[in-house]
Structures are given as structure tokens and as C-alpha cells.
Structure 1
Amino acid sequence: MQWRRHVVGLTFSIFFISSCFTNKYVLSVLKFTYPTLFQGWQTCIGALLLLVSGKTGWLEMSRITRSAALSWLPGSILFVGNIYAGSRALSRMDIPIFFTLQNSSHVVGYLILRLVHGERMPWLKHFSIFVLLGSAINLPFYDPEFEMGSYTWAIGHLSCVGAYRVFKVQSRSSHLSDLEQQYINYLFSALLLATAAHPTGDLLAALDFPSLRSYTFHCGCCASALLGFVLLLATVKLRSGLSVEHSRAWTFLAKIAAMFLSPFVFSVTVNAPSSVCVLCSHVAEGLLIYSERPTYDRERPAAHQTCPQLQS
């Protein structure tokens, strides 16, 4: 029924905003800027919860073969780059600015599909990509809190997001479900980030973190891990219950809601020119979603085959 689709979309939006705000709070307000530890904690908890849920039969997860895990390894590497660089960028950027730069991941995906795979695209998509790129290029010139380091991490983040999106579609490991792919991502990320925690100095620096014994800090870290796992389940439910077109639309609306609500929770510094860049970027993303409707409609049966149903 139609009302059930709205409930699924609203549930996803609530968890998307809650997860985004919780991560921003820990990274920016509490200033826990140690991504090897923070993201390692999140991915470790996510992997454990997925493993337990699969073993108990609450989630449908098949046994992952070694060959399937190895074929998905490039995606896991891109996932680590995504969350690591994303944490660095989000800790230093306001949410509207971060999402505007993140939208440029569509440009990366467009270039890969255009140059490597030679795919032809409609004129509206070309126009949307052009506006997304123009907004991202002009944003640093008008951002009142511009910092080269944060933009460098944001470029790494959007590059990994765009490449991961293309790899997920083009990968020969498409027989893996979304949950199985994410389990490999979580497990690989937790092992890699745990190994890198000491060489990067994050482990020793975190021992001197002022809020290490704070109740608020512990609650924030636990909430970020649990919300990330629940958001994963909500995302899979959204994709399995709705068409790809509608699930992308709900993700877009959730981002818009997070941007509008962020000034009521965090300190946001923007001016008129940077606001125009933010607005143009998200209008272009909306046009991009609209331009891809025929493609999504053709791919819907395949998309449903790779999205597992959550058991009630």
C-alpha cells in the first residue's frame, strides 16, 4: 500500500538524519578527530551485529565464499577511503557544505562511465553534471570558513564515493546481496583501521583525549555505531520495497532535511554566494535523479534481485 512506502521512506529519513547528526556531534562538538578509531569502532560493531543477525536467522545472509570476498575487495578499499576521508572532512565542515561537495561524486561516476565504459547519457544529465561540477568548483571561493585541508579530504571522499557507486553497478560480484557486500566492507575496514590505529598515532593521541571518560562521549560513540547499523537496515528495506527511482528520491529528501535542520543543532556559517552554490548543487542533483528515471525503470528487476528482504 502507498502509506507503507511513505512509512519506510520516513523511517529511513529519520535514521539518516540521526546518524548524520550523531557523527557530526562526536567529530565536531566533542572533537574526537581520530577516524581510525571512530570508524574502526563503527565498522567493528556493524560487522558483529550483521554476523549475529545472520547466524540467528533475523537477516537473510548466505555463506560468503573466499572468491566472492576477493572479487569484492576493490569495493571494500573504496569503502574505507570513503568513510576515512569523509570523517576528516565532516569534522571540519558544516553539513550543507559537506553535502554539496559530496554531490560531486556524481561527476566522478559520470567521468568513469563516460571515459572508461563509453556510455551515452541524456542532455539533462549532462546539464546536471555541469551544474554539480560548477557549484563544487566555485564553493571554495565563497566559503567563509574555507580550509584547504578539509577540502582535500572532501575531494578524496567524493572520489571514493563516485568510484564505489560505479564499481557496485559494474562489479561481477553482483550475486552478493547488499548486506553481504556491507559485511565484507565492515570486516575489511575494521581490520585495516585497527591495524592503522597505532602507526597513525591515533591510538596514543586518543588516550589523552579530554572527554575519554565522559558519559556524553560514550553515549555518542555507542549511538553512532548503533544508528549506522540501523541505517543500513533501513536503506536495504527502502531499496527492496521501492523502485530505485523512489529510493533515490527519499535519499535526496533526507539530505535536504538534514541540511535545513543542521543550523538548529550546530553552528553553521554561510553567506549568500555559498548558499547559492549549495542551492544550485542540490537542484542539479534533483534534476539528475529525474533524468535517470528511464534507466532506473529498466534496471528495477535486477536491482530487486540483489536486495535481500528483511525478515519480520
Structure 2
Amino acid sequence: MYLKGPGTGVAFCLFYLTSYFTNKYVLSVLKFTYPTLFQGWQTLVGGFLLHISWKIGWVEISSSSRVLILLVAAGFLPLYDPQFDTDGYFWALIHLLCIGAYKVYHKSWRPSSLSDSEQQYINYAFSMVVLAFASHPTGDLFSALEFPLLYFYSFHSSCFASGLLGFLLTLHTMKLKSSTSSGHYAAWSLLAKVITAGLSPFFFEIVVNVPTACWYVFCKKIMSFAWWISGSSASLH
């Protein structure tokens, strides 16, 4: 199977991998478990850099079945997860619901007059406002002041890298979407996820039992199959 846009696709996979690993390092290794603040910081950096990119002319801003199978597999994972954490799965559910609501809204409204960069700019602005207001009722705003690594260089550099890599990933995502078909973009996206999932156990401590390992292998097989299907359908066009 031939994938179009190899240079942009490889860069996309690289930034996806490094962005994921950086975020996981901050959340899992440094244990900065305040998602409203961490994601708020990422959207703040992303929005600021996107605004700078617009000013210097880098971007233009005017004034199915396989998914269902993956969702079912993910639904059974908490039953066998030896590292089960209620807060982690709660925020994963919130993330899933927000993404789903956005997809439904995007499909129903179809803002064809807005470019990808304009839509992302609006997303950044909306997310910053929502996360800023959510940080107080969730307790993250004041709890973060007691974070033991708050004044450490490792924490500051990791947060800076997370914001920068997240923006670069967003930038290359928009570039990949504009330069390839939806099928090829889906194939590159799945490839990035498979690579990241395959390398993650070599860099982070993961407690795995037999049922979890079976579900992990099953999900990787499904993702590989979905990648093949996406690439095959794209090649027909």
C-alpha cells in the first residue's frame, strides 16, 4: 500500500509520538494530575503560536464499523486493567464525549466557510475559556500550588515541550489533511497510533496481566486492519 505525502506523514508520526510521550511523562512520571490546568496550558501555547504563525504568514486565518469495534474493546479494558484509576477513566470519558459532541456539531453545521486553521483557532479560544472556568470547581487551581515539583526545571521544561510539540502536531495535522485524501490521512493517523502504542511499553512502566495483554494485541490487530482498509479505499480514489 502506497501512502501519499511521505514527508509530511513521517513528520506527523514523529510529532504524534513525541507529543504523546511528553504528555505521558508529565502526567504519569511527574504525576501532574491536574488536567484542566495542563490542557489549558497546552491550548494557551497552541493558540498563541497559531496567532504568531498567522501574523508571519505561515497559516491563513480570515478576520464507522471499525470505530465501533475499538470502542467495544476499550469498554472492556477497565475490567482487566491492573492500573485502574477512576479519575483517569473519568477524564478519558469526558474527552470522548467532548470529541463526539464536536464531531456531531461539525458534521451537522459543516462550517465550509472556515479553513482548518480558522477552526483550530476557534477551538483553542473556546477551550481556553472552558478550561479556565473549570479549573476552580474541579479543585485543580489551588491543588496545583501544592505540587511538589512546581518549581523544578524538569517540570517547567516538560510543560514547555508539551505545549510546543502539541502545536507542531496540530500544524502538521492540518498540513497532512490539506495535502492528502481523507483515506490517506486516516492511514497515517492509525500508523502513528500503532507506532506510539508499540513503543510506549519500552519507555514507561506498565503493569500488564494476561487479559490486558490479550486486549492490547486484539486492539493492535484491529487498528492494523483498519489502517489497511483505509489505505485500500484511498488507493481506489
Q: TM-score, normalised by structure 2?
A: 0.88
More displaced 10-residue stretch of structure 1: 249-258 or 36-45: 36-45
Structure 2 letter corresponding to 1:47: G
1:253 to 186, 191, 198: 191
Asked whether the 8 Å contact 2:194–2:224 carries over to 1, the reply is no
Distance 2:151 2:232 in 1: 53
Report whether the alignment pairs 1:31 with 2:6: no
Instruction: State the partner residue of 1:155.
Output: 93
Deviations 1:132-157 (A, max 9, x none): 24422332222222234433332232
Structure 2 letter corresponding to 1:48: F
Distance 2:113 2:233 in 1: 20
Instruction: State the partner residue of 1:46.
Output: 46
Instruction: State the partner residue of 2:157.
Output: 219
Q: Tell me how many residue pairs correspond in the alignment.
A: 236
Distance 1:149 1:25 in 2: 17
**Offset at residue 200 of structure 1 (A):** 3.0
Instruction: Tell me the SS of whatever aligns to 2:206.
Output: coil
Report whether the alignment pairs 1:196 with 2:134: yes
Deviations 1:49-68 (A, max 9, x none): 111221222211112xxxxx
Instruction: Tell me the SS of whatever aligns to 2:5.
Output: helix
Distance 1:6 1:35 in 2: 34
Instruction: Tell me the SS of whatever aligns to 1:180.
Output: helix
Q: Which runs of 5+ in 2 are unaligned?
A: none
Report whether the alignment pairs 1:181 with 2:94: no
**Offset at residue 176 of structure 1 (A):** 1.1
More displaced 10-residue stretch of structure 1: 48-57 or 155-164: 155-164
RMSD: 2.6
Q: Which runs of 5+ in 1 are unaligned?
A: 64-109, 111-124, 301-312
Distance 2:68 2:61 in 1: 40
**Offset at residue 296 of structure 1 (A):** 6.5
Structure 2 letter corresponding to 1:263: P
Instruction: Tell me the SS of whatever aligns to 2:219.
Output: helix
Instruction: State the partner residue of 1:239.
Output: 177
Instruction: State the partner residue of 2:167.
Output: 229
**Offset at residue 282 of structure 1 (A):** 3.4
More displaced 10-residue stretch of structure 1: 270-279 or 251-260: 270-279
Query: Do the aligned partners of residues 292 and 262 (structure 1) sit closer, same or farther apart at CA in structure 2, a change above 3 Å counting?
Result: closer
